[in-house]
Structure 1
Amino acid sequence: MEVSGRIKMIDDTKTYGNNGFRKREVVVTTDEQYPQHILVEFTQDKCELLNSYTVGEPVKISINLRGREWVNPQGETKYFNSIQGWRIEKLQPQAPAGGGYQTPPPAASPQDSFEPATNYKEEDHDDLPF
């Protein structure tokens, strides 16, 4: 499976437990009608794959979906999912079809521009249809 988008965040490598388990997380924002912020984990020797990437780059990440079961001390069974990356590659910006020189689109007029929202809080707004 694969997920494509622009890198929104790359975390530092973190080490856990006595055995030195290593994990590094990256968030990729998809390019679709309702963009999604997908957290992908890279573990152990795969952590270094993220070293040559920066925020804002378009990438394609090869992933595996992982699920596990856990029984808490009260005897309740819980299930957890994770998305593990095992390969990442840079995507090239799409060239215009037909090759050659393409005239740029006309510049937007001041009437077409809007002032940025200053009171917008992402947690207060949900435009998803479900």
Structure 2
Amino acid sequence: MEITGKIIFELERRSGTSARTGNSWASQSYVLETHDQYPRRMVFDVFGDDKIQQFNIKAGQELTVSFDIDAREYQGRWFNSIRAWRVMPAQAPGVPGAAPVAPQAAAPGVTMPAAGAAQYGQAPAAGVPQPQPQAADGGDDDLPF
């Protein structure tokens, strides 16, 4: 999964030694805020000194974060874990390679072919009412165009 937004906060770095293996570990959490009409916030973790240094995340950066979601049970309660596995600078809108734009929705009753499908005409299904064109004089249409 991926999300794009601005890093608004860096939480304190945590580290320790694994009781099971005896190896040292480090984890850093960050808060990302999206740029939607109603912005959403998400806390994600980067695990391991190597990843923390490789990603070099700072507050104020615009990033695209690829992450995995996992849940675990502890004493009858469940906890979510959102762990980043790739962090890249966000691409500005209109830049080549940016996320593709979703196609416009088709008019009611019109079937759009699947991506990569051959472009053949399709006969309307029997018993399905077909949309009627509006009169050229505008009729009951109150749109300004």
TM-score w.r.t. the length of structure 2 is: 0.55
Q: Give the deviation of 1:4 after TM superposition.
A: 0.9
Unpaired runs of 5+ residues, structure 2, are 96-145
Amino acid at match of 1:62: S
Query: Which of 1 and 2 has higher RCO (CA within 8 Å, sep 6+)?
Result: 1
Structure with bigger gyration radius: 2
CA contact (8 A) 1:49 1:87 kept: no
**Distance 1:41-1:66 versus aligned 2 partners, 3 A rule:** same
Whole-angstrom distance in 2 between the partners of 1:84 and 1:55:
18
Equivalent runs, 1:29-108 vs 2, <5 Å: 29-44=33-48, 45-51=50-56, 53-71=57-75, 77-95=76-94
Q: Give the deviation of 1:27 after TM superposition.
A: 1.0
Q: Give the deviation of 1:91 after TM superposition.
A: 1.3
Q: Give the deviation of 1:69 after TM superposition.
A: 0.8
Runs of 4+ displaced beyond 6 Å = none
Percent of counterpart pairs with the same letter?
Answer: 27
Amino acid at match of 1:46: K
Q: Give the deviation of 1:61 after TM superposition.
A: 0.4
Q: Give the deviation of 1:85 after TM superposition.
A: 0.3
Per-residue CA deviation, residues 7-31 of structure 1 (Å, 9 max, x unaligned), is 1123453212454221011111011
CA contact (8 A) 1:10 1:26 kept: yes
Q: Give the deviation of 1:64 after TM superposition.
A: 0.2
RMSD: 1.9
Report the structure, 1 or 2, having the larger strand content: 1
TM-score w.r.t. the length of structure 1 is: 0.61
Amino acid at match of 1:39: V
